[in-house]
Amino acid sequence: MNILLVDDHAVVRQGYASLLQAVLPTMQVREAANGEEALARVLEDVPQLVIMDFALPGISGLETTRRLRQRLPQLRVLFFSMHDELPLVRQALEAGASGYLTKNSAPQVLIEAVHRVLAGHAYIEQPLATQLACTPQANASDPRLQSMTQRELEIFVMLARGTPARLIAEQLCISAKTVSNHLTLLKSKLQVSSHGELVHLGIDMGVVRVAG
């Protein structure tokens, strides 16, 4: 029996792997640094649970989850991410995730989430669950969001957060030209003409949050 921990930061992976191994000594905790590696590891040995980061280089966490669930519909995936924007949480759940919590959570929250999802239950971090229950899904059903691919959504969020295109290319392991092409397509889909308008639209849609 094993858990697969997917995160592109080695220190983060190793820290949480050690925590989970200590709490679940009968489980083997395996690691993957990106979506491609996660897909290969799952094919080698199907885990009882995949703990998935949202933003990964190459194939995004959302796209990796979608592909895994297509191949293995019963596979349990728990998102563990810095992202806490509701449209992104909803996208993760729509991709087939069994749960979602943020990396701001205390270690015992992660442990509780792992236990619950392994037992076949859904788990959403309490603040996010409350927000999902109290927030209308108007933004989630926005046709402009629905028209985006998983990669476009990921780049849209990063651009709206103010991440430079060069850094997006580095983090996603794609070329600067590819980022530029995505930006052009996003502007067309979202009917905006400037980066500033894109940022404001991201705020309006709720995919980025303004610090209060």
Strand 123-124 vs strand 2-6: parallel, antiparallel, or unpaired? unpaired
Report pLDDT for 160: 81
pLDDT in single tens digits along all 212 residues of the chain: 899 999 999 998 999 999 999 999 999 999 999 999 999 999 999 999 999 998 888 788 888 998 999 999 999 999 999 888 887 888 888 888 999 999 999 999 999 999 999 999 999 998 888 877 776 554 455 677 767 777 788 788 888 877 888 888 877 778 889 988 988 888 888 888 887 888 888 777 766 665 54
Report pLDDT for 208: 66
Report pLDDT for 137: 56
Q: Which helix (H) or strand (E) holds 50?
A: strand 49-52
Of 30, 90, 92, whose CA–CA distance to 60 is shortest? 92
Tokens of 122: 């859904």
Dihedral sign, Cα of residue 184, residue 190, residue 192, residue 194: negative
